[in-house]
Amino acid sequence: MTIIYAERLVVVVLLILLSASTSNCFIDRSYAEELLSSAGREKDWLVSIRRRIHEHPELRFQEYNTSALIRHELDGLGIPYTYPIAGTGVVAWVGTGSGPVVALRADMDALPLQELVEWEHKSKIDGVMHGCGHDAHVTMLLGAAKLLAQRKDRFKGTVRLIFQPAEEGGAGASHMIGEGVLGDAEAIFAMHVDYTTPTGSIAVLPGPNTAAVSFFEARIEGEGGHAAVPHKTVDPVIATSFCILALQQLISRETDPLHSQVLSVTYVRAGSALNVIPFYVGFGGTLRSLTTEGLYQLVRRLKEVIEGQAAAHRCRARIITSIEGYPAYPAVVNDEALTHHVESVGRLLLGPRNTRMGAKIMAGEDFAFYQEVIPGVMLNIGIRNEEVGSIHSPHSPYFFLDEAALPVGAAVHVAVAETYLREHSDSV
């Protein structure tokens, strides 16, 4: 009898916990089915939007046509917005206009990349491609806008929809923040397409997700001359060689192996004559750390090492770490409580098997600027589908998107925002 009673008690406790978990995020099976069904009915519309954006990609701070398309769709939905922000950005809102306020963000810009995928809706702009999925990000947020507008009587509070320019190197997020796009938002969510996660799934990870990123350029100046009389020169090639070798020791000998950092020299440029020692050598590359503090420390040591090695070889060093068009990005660090919120929503909306643990990567993402102001989470939305060729990484000329992910992303946006507002409306 004792064993039977204990087993029944365990079952009761599990049912209570499951019930509490479900009530906490206001999702049950009928909610999930209704929302996914509503999003699914919009698939053709979503696909048409994504293809129009994909065919006409625009680089950072040049997203005029993309912005016009967004505003046209918002006008058709009767959703108010503010424009322009940071040149081409748009901020719309759905709901009561009062608190609580939650923000959803999508980036709009494309890459300077020649698309090599041959299909009907290939980029029509030579040398420019949506090779990172931002066309899908915009589409999914527009889909969320449409669904939220249809459901605005079901929640209290406001959802701010941020369509942001210039994620690819331009730090568009910092410009948007400077112009007040967050308003009274107390939390922000975004998603990024993920070719390693199957379509129909999401992945999310608390804590550090993407790296803090900086770029650098250095110029080692010596005294050039004929290669037959090297003793009459001050050779910047030798000094540069020692600089590059010494920089590699910053990671191998000064960084805790458990603290992920990267220092990569990506180019070296010098003279072209075979019999002349050049007057200077230029080189540069990138620095990355999974903590913003780690990046600052790495930048400081990079300068010290280059200047020290140049001086040891009688040369002069000029170092630039604030490169126009490539500002430093902080690390994306997901708020733990909000990550738990996304996990709970994902499990109940898509199922436990389709809600996965994310992975840290050393790429940069300017969503981190928003997280420096308010708590936020960036989650990954799966697009991997071998059957349609959605298997290539972002920034590849062969990158291809499984468009079946579009309604899924729209539904996830809505569920994350609606449930957040419902959970926090009592405290306002």
Question: Would the annotation count 243 as a binding residue?
Answer: no
Strand-by-strand arrangement of the 261-269 sheet:
261-269, 280-289, 212-221, 316-320
Burial class (CB in 10 A: 0-12, 13-18, 19+), 188: buried
| Cis peptide bond upstream of 84, omega within 30 | yes
Instruction: List 163's β-bridge partners, or say none.
Output: 90, 106
Question: Would the annotation count 137 as a binding residue?
Answer: no
DSSP string, 199-259: TT-EEE-SEEEE-EEEEEEEEEE-B-EETT-GGGSB-HHHHHHHHHHHHHHHHHTTS-TTS
Question: Would the annotation count 134 as a binding residue?
Answer: yes
**342, 306, 349: which is closest to 189 by C-alpha?**
342
Question: Would the annotation count 192 as a binding residue?
Answer: yes
What is the rounded radius of gyration, in angstroms, for the C-alpha atoms of the chain? 25
**378, 333, 336, 51: which is closest to 194 by C-alpha?**
378
Question: Would the annotation count 168 as a binding residue?
Answer: yes
282 neighbors 233 (Cβ within 8 angstroms): no
Tokens, residue 260 = 């992920």
For 76, the 3-state DSSP assignment is helix
| Annotation: binding site for Mn(2+) | 132, 134, 168, 192, 395
| Annotation: binding site | 132, 134, 168, 192, 395
